[in-house]
Structure 1
Amino acid sequence: MNATTAPAKRMAKAERREQLLETAMAIVREQGTDALTLGYLAERAGVSKPIAYEHFGTRSGLLIALYKRIDERQAVTVAQDFERTPKRLGDVARLIGESYMSCFRTAGPECHAIFAALKGDEEMERVQRELTAGYVEFYRGLLAPYAKVGAGELQRRCIAIVGAGEALSREMTHGRIEEADAAATLAALIEATIARA
């Protein structure tokens, strides 16, 4: 902590973690992932370095916590989007496409930057596999009533849908595809993939 930083007020552990994550996200948004270290986070949040280390352990731990936080917020949004699932495949596909791209728009480019900063990190690879498996399972459940294939093939097609959504959202985040076009392309791909035997 530097001389101009006021001592941090006492907070409950969960509150402090939320404050640190908000500060970390601001750093990534303003300066990119390279600027994000536990020491700099502590300085910006007005806490001691041991507090930042106690919450996240390592820089990778902090980046993973940020990524999970983004994912958790998006999961809530997606669940709300699908509270009343439409009855036709075209409507379900359109809603998946719109919801997927909307999530990445609201998460912002920080989401892809955080993921890129963690490329090759074993813990992040495990977290990413778990999150992807959750998305695949969610979409499989939504699309199963319309599928003309068995469970194993549906699972593989949902893996492909998630991969396509990831690629399209990355292009959208970099400004190379409009959100509406990315959503429509993903919806068309879903409809064609699921309707085919």
Structure 2
Amino acid sequence: MSSTETRTQDSSKQPRRRLSRQDRQRQLLDVAWQLVRAEGTDALTLGRLAEQAGVTKPVVYDHFSTRAGLLAALYQDFDARQTALMDAALHTNEPTLISTAQVIAGSYVDCVLLQGNEIPGVIAALTSSPELEQIKREYEAIFLEKCRSVLSPFTRDGGITTAHLRAMLGAAEALSQAAATGEITPKQAQEELFDTIIAMVERSARVID
């Protein structure tokens, strides 16, 4: 037997490197996004995910437990990307209302477009139960408080109401989804959301000169 054949047989006997729990979860989330993109949210089950990821069902159940848990994890994954994108942009932008509004509008729309058409389906699925709806609202509240924090300095009394912020979020979701489906362009979505943010601040209180 040649040395080459010996090395080949030895390498074939070596066990595959097991993914860490974090890497496995990342893999499963990536496959779940691909599945939603290809077949829609209704096709997303733990069993189907296991099949597509090439792992056993117990592996998937160990990470997500239920379909609701998987949907929540997908939304959390989306929120983490959105937060990272927005934080990075806010860290380097000029401390002006115009620049801050551009960052919020641009990062929100860009994140939805990066995730593609699958995120509207996941968001819609989150409303299927009070538990999932609560998770969605908790993450929305964090986002809105961040917007309040970075925009309030541009008002005389620092007051931006929750009603104003909720109206802004509704516009952000609708415009981003319209851009994702091609109904409007990303630039149109960002510009309209930018105008909405500026108007919101001006309605809340007079802008600082």
Q: Normalising by structure 2, report the TM-score.
A: 0.83
Give % identity: 39
Distance 2:16 2:64 in 1: 18
Alpha-carbon shift at residue 148 of structure 1 (Å):
4.2
Distance 2:78 2:158 in 1: 33
Deviations 1:49-98 (A, max 9, x none): 11111111111111111111111112111111110342322222222211
2:191 to 180, 184, 190: 184
1:143 to 151, 170, 193: 151
Q: What letter is aligned with 1:131? A: Y
Partner residue in 2 for 1:93: 101
Deviations 1:151-171 (A, max 9, x none): 3x4333222212211121122
Q: What's the secondary structure of 1:175's corresponding residue?
A: coil
Where relative contact order (Cα < 8 A, 6+ residues apart) is larger, the structure is: 1
Alignment gaps of 5+ in structure 1: 1-6
Query: For structure 1, which segment, 34-43 or 91-100, has the greater mean C-alpha deviation from structure 2 after superposition?
Result: 91-100
Partner residue in 2 for 1:15: 23
1:1-197 equivalent positions in 2, closer than 5 A: 10-148=18-156, 151=159, 153-196=160-203, 197=205
Q: What's the secondary structure of 1:83's corresponding residue?
A: helix
Alpha-carbon shift at residue 8 of structure 1 (Å):
8.1
Distance 1:162 1:39 in 2: 34
Q: What's the secondary structure of 2:95's corresponding residue?
A: coil
Distance 1:45 1:190 in 2: 41
Distance 1:181 1:98 in 2: 11
Counterpart contact for 1:38–1:58, Cα < 8 Å = yes
Alpha-carbon shift at residue 126 of structure 1 (Å):
1.2
Distance 2:103 2:45 in 1: 38
Structure (1 or 2) with the larger CA radius of gyration: 2
Q: What's the secondary structure of 2:24's corresponding residue?
A: helix
Distance 1:86 1:154 in 2: 24
Aligned residues: 190
Cα distance change on mapping 1:161 and 1:46 into 2, 3 Å: same
Distance 1:179 1:47 in 2: 37
Counterpart contact for 1:93–1:190, Cα < 8 Å = yes
Q: What's the secondary structure of 2:55's corresponding residue?
A: coil
